[in-house]
Structure 1
Amino acid sequence: MKKLLSSTALIAAMALPLAAQQYTPDPDATPGGIITITYKDDVATLDPAIGYDWQNWSMIKSLFDGLMDYVPGTTDLRPGLAESYTVSEDGTVFTFTLRKGVVFHNGREMTAEDVKYSLDRVTLPATQSPGAGFFASIVGFDKISNGEAETLSGVEVIDPLTVQITLSRPDATFLHVMGLNFASIVPREVVEEMGDDFGKNPIGTGAFKLSEWTIGQRVVFEKNADYWRAGVPYLDGVTFEVGQEPIVALLRLQQGEVDVPGDGIPPAKFVEVMNDPAQAAQVIEGGQLHTGYITLNVGVAPFDQLAVREAVNMAINKERITQIINGRAVPATQPLPPTMPGYTEGFAGFAYDVDGAIAKLAEAGLADGFTTELYVMNTDPNPRIAQAIQQDLAAIGVTLEIRSLAQANVIEAGGAGQAPMIWSGGMAWIADFPDPSNFYGPILGCAGAGEGGWNWSKFCNEGIDAMAVEADSFIDPAAPERLELWSQVYQDVMAQAPWVPVFNEQRYTMKSARMGGDDALYVDPVSIPVNYDYVYVTE
């Protein structure tokens, strides 16, 4: 992982146009061609303010741009729609200069007014964006989120190509937030015309534009010939076929009909693939800042009792679950993955202890157990993992009913607070950016616990929230005091046990023999799962 800049170097870098952080195009890339990606489930939405799952994240990133972006295949920041920016000495005022001549897919030129509108929109409660909490440090966020205002007072249009954003405090994550899909710039007139249908009729400034969406069959992107980045994308288009079982997708890849199976290598076929040299040569492995976990809804009985949540944590055999995915993970003890700054070395978490779990249930007055539900995404291996969880809980007297649903339905139930328990697999948290705060705000903080949010445990502790705000109120992201605070945040979270952290997983995918581009583009840590803007075909 790239070491983050010290505070002195960070301020110096902020005042520069960032020209040195450009990406060198692949000299072997050949323009043209259309590739095929498969998924089992249909696409829920392509609205950047709403979409937040494994499947649509990279699609949205290819349709839209934000002020900041990342060097392809890395988590290193680079310029996006902002040509340059400056920051005040106290780290609270960012002034962005926009690129000239950038146009939306409908041909209209983008301006600072679009930036203002897009940031207002994503934070308005009516939008129900799961990413709204990322923008909490902008002045005026509290008033817009509680309905007292309709715009962010901290976002000001200086002129058509200049926008100034004032923060209520220094925010070590702010530039990363400006690179998230949630900060994508959208055209007001199209959003207002389409209303709730904007997610099916997206218009952005990205490298690709939507050309077809046949519900239940396919989504088709075509190259944006007017894209502001010279030379990309290389491809003429991308076709996403949905309704494809992962095992069928693998067979079609072997036959040359599919270029990337979006759901990855089916676990039942993993050993077979890796033992075949020809297929193994097409496999790409990449590290990822990932944690798979079970959420325990603290607003639903009996998970409103700490002893019950502790019992469930103690009942789960994490080692056995990692074997279900062919050992492609290590057991987790805390929300942060081991390679994330702020991870607490030596933190034991809850040990596997069936007798201890039974005692905890008795302490909660549930010696005879109880019945509850576990929601799970219906793509293998998640239903099998759910069955393992079911067996573990049966050993302590808990009857678990499994609800295996499409990804979008699980996400909807979690956001609405309807699910007592959720196994996050297939949707499990992979960092949006390499900072410990990203594992807190949207999935454990109070801001993510509202309607539609991704904090499916609905856990909200104002004291821990305040500590998290303090941890982010640094100019230097790598300050030791800041990382110590984040370590304490996650230890305090685990003391309340709203989650069962299960494992930290490595990422494996496959590509067809004709696909070109650096392997890192197929396990891109930001454009999950594939950076479509920079891959290409060789025939």
Structure 2
Amino acid sequence: MTDTDNLNRRRFLQATGGAASAVALAGCTGGNNDSQDTATTTADETTTADSTETTTTEEANTPSDDSNVLRLINSTMTTLDPIKATDTASGTVIQQVFDALMNYPNAEIEVKSQLAKSHTVSDDFKTYTFKLKEGAKFHNGTEVTAQDFVYSFERLAASDNSRRAYFILDSIGVKHETDSEGNYKPGSMAVTAEDDYTLKMELSEPFHAVLEMLAYTSFAALPKGIVGDIKGHEGEMSHKKFSTKSPVGAGPFTFDTWSTNTEARVSKFENYHGSAADVDGVHWNIMSDPQAMYTYGTVNQNADMLHAGQLPTSQYNRNKVNVKKTDKLGRKVGTYGKTTSGATMKYTGVPTIGSYYIGFNAEAVPKAVRQAAAYALNQGQAVNKVFKGRGESSYHFTPPSIYPGGPDAYKKHAKENYPYGYNETKLAEARKVMKEAGYGKDNKFSFEFTVYQSSSTWPELGKLLRDKLASAYIDMSINTAPFSTLLKRGRKGNLEAYSLGWIMDYPAPDNFLQLIHPPKTDTSKSNELSYFNWSGTEAAKKATKAWEKVQNNPKPTDAAKKKRNEAYVAMEEANWEDVVLLPAYHDFSERFTYDWIDAPRFGAADYSRQMYNNVKIGERK
């Protein structure tokens, strides 16, 4: 999940033959949501389907008294429009209200049909034909048809409100026309309704992750013409009303209310085409301060389920985790507790598909310094000391579950080949590489490491690294900046080193490794994906050649996959050589659930991709 401007990636594709993605993470907050924002008691506008009222944070802190409403905590949301949302908090609610053709059931990464009943693919892998479920209803009572998907996909491609146009135009690569500047020509996309229940989509070239992309909520169905933000549709309502007050989807819950900094509510949709919800609704208390989340959810037991950031690292005790088994998907299952309130909670720990890293601006930080930092960083120590074991050591940018060959191949390749020490600190080598580059006690190198202000863990990791680098003739200072400021500085090339991460858009290595494709790391050009300014070196040339191999083998065949896998590993090794991206850790997402809740385990796509219609509530204690 990414946070991005609406990039025009077609021009990039024309230049490189490749696919690109967004600039940074929506969930890019250290992986543990360690927000330092202070919750305030102010009046906020509350938006509902029928009216506008004001509610205070204090009022919203009173949990729902409805015994069959699921009570949760969420962070600050930005929109309820599936094509505009780029943050995890909004996506969590959108997932309950909107349905798409495909879905990741319970956030497991094996994609399944949702509003689609079946699909076929042409022999050349360029034409996808979907048969829709008949009788599926939107929340306004109209039936979901292929024409609704044509409209919804056109909004995704053409609306000024879309932040995900590249998903359909470039990542999937649906055939379309462009103007002289390479911009999409509205209405030219090859998505057609053959009849009410048959949708056809034609690609300009094959793409190996089409179905996985279509499971993203950006591809959700909306009633045709409901928002007037594209040519040919006046719209039943303004975009503002749709995105804040009256979103209409075909999901298991209908929208009730959303107050920006206080709460959001949805209710059971009785006519849902799938498994109707067991709960009457879901209520999210919106909070930004980790301590407030901890008090609300753990001390006072006002939330039914908590996720890692809602039981912040400062209050977390890993000795209270009792893992009883590990299931076939690698999820650790057991208990956590007792908590401050005396409760023993059900525990699930899931290796999710995300990577967190230190990025280096190659123009500002010499290769020797970057290599010294890699020698100094002990990833295992960082995970255990800073994150209290709430993560996995990272040596590749590609997460273990989607690395070529899987987690075992990931570990074997790292143990045998990572040049800077596997779970160890090698300060002698750090000093040696610095001396060879001309540095010493009287000639130290200084650089600034910028971390986002909302994280309490990245500064701690920075201090750990800073103290080690001091003995390798490097003075590293740590600066904090608001997340948006960090991104703005990065795009301008005004960062020396920085902390960021990436959560999957779709579960394939190219969704991650595009960030180290050298032409897309140049901040002097438009549409950069990262801020490394990495080009011209022998390693960068290897990475560029490997990326071309990925793009030249896009088909969903075993032969093409084998060639892509070879190229993915080559890109990882090229990055190891120049260390523009220093892997830090992979996220390990956790859920803590009270005994009265029966909820399916979530998978590697993380909890924000899970729907709550199969959650059951017993008698609260």
State the TM-score bracket (shorter-chain normalisation). 0.7 to 0.9
Counterpart position of 2:305: 260
Aligned residue among 230, 253, 261 for 1:216: 261
Give the equivalent residue in structure 1 for 2:374. 313
The corresponding residue for 1:332 is: 394
Give the TM-score of the pair, scaled to structure 2.
0.69
Contact 1:112–1:160 (CA<8 Å) still a contact in 2?
A: yes
How much does 1:100 deviate? 2.6
Corresponding residue SS for 1:282? strand
Q: Name the counterpart of 2:94.
A: 60
Task: Tell me if 1:240 matches 2:284.
Answer: yes
Please tell me the residue identity of whatever aligns with 2:418.
G
Q: Mapping of 1:52-131 within 5 angstroms? A: 52-72=86-106, 74-124=108-158, 126-127=160-161, 129=163
With over 3 angstroms needed to count, the CA separation of the structure-2 counterparts of 1:55 and 1:169, relative to structure 1, is same
Distance 2:571 2:198 in 1: 37
The CA RMSD measured in Å over matched residues stands at: 3.8
Matches for 1:7-18 after TM superposition, within 5 Å? none
Is the CA contact (8 Å cut-off) linking 1:264 and 1:509 kept in structure 2? no
**Counterpart of 1:397?**
474
Note if contact 1:37-1:240 (Cα within 8 Å) is conserved in structure 2.
Answer: yes
Instruction: Using the TM superposition, give the Cα deviation of residue 79 of structure 1 relative to its aligned residue in structure 2, in angstroms.
Output: 1.1
Aligned identity (percent) is 19
- Paired with 1:58 and 1:448, the residues of 2 have a C-alpha distance of 30
Match status 1:349 vs 2:395: no
**CA separation of 1:353/1:87 partners in 2, compared to 1, >3 Å: closer, same or farther?**
same
Equivalent AA in structure 2 for residue 534 of structure 1: N
Distance 1:414 1:338 in 2: 27
2:364 is matched by which residue type in structure 1? P
Question: Matches of residues 487-498 of structure 1 in structure 2 within 5 Å?
Answer: 487-498=569-580
Q: Secondary structure at the match of 2:569?
A: helix
Distance 1:339 1:146 in 2: 36
In the alignment, the residues of structure 2 paired with residue 120 and residue 225 of structure 1 have an alpha-carbon distance, to the nearest angstrom, of 29
Question: Structure 1 stretch 259-268 or stretch 469-478: which is displaced more?
Answer: 469-478
Distance in 1 separating the partners of 2:219 and 2:533: 24
Letter in 2 for 1:317: N
C-alpha distance in 2, partners of 1:128/1:368?
47
Rate the CA distance shift 1:358–1:61 in 2: closer, same or farther, 3 A: farther
The 3 A distance-change label for structure 1 pair 55 and 400 is farther
Shift of 1:221: 1.9
User: In the alignment, what sits opposite 2:354?
Assistant: 290
Question: CA–CA distance in 2 between the matches of 1:244 and 1:370?
Answer: 34
Which range moved further: 477-486 or 495-504?
A: 477-486
Amino acid corresponding to residue 320 of structure 1 in structure 2: Q
Which ranges of structure 1 fall in alignment gaps of 5 or more residues? 1-30
Q: Summarize deviations over 1:415-459 as a string: whole Å, max 9, x none.
A: 7876554423xxx43444443233234786878999788646576
Structure 1's 128 and 148: CA in aligned 2 closer, same or farther, altered over 3 A?
A: closer
* 2:258 is the alignment partner of 1:189: no
User: Could you say which residue in structure 1 is the equivalent of 2:209?
Assistant: 173
Q: C-alpha displacement at 1:355, in angstroms?
A: 5.5
Structure 1 residues 429, 280: closer, same or farther in 2, change over 3 A?
farther
Letter in 1 for 2:76: D
The AA in structure 1 aligned to 2:104 is Y
Q: Rate the CA distance shift 1:363–1:99 in 2: closer, same or farther, 3 A.
A: farther
Residue of structure 2 in register with 1:504 after alignment: 586
Return the letter of the residue paired with 1:212: T
Q: Which amino acid aligns with 2:393?
A: P
Q: TM-score, normalised by structure 1?
A: 0.79
Q: 1:252 to 1:374 in 2, by over 3 A?
A: same
Any conservation in 1 of the 2:138–2:144 contact (CA below 8 Å)? yes
The reply to whether residue 517 of structure 1 matches residue 599 of structure 2 is yes
TM-superposed deviation, 1:118: 2.8
In the alignment, what sits opposite 1:535? 615
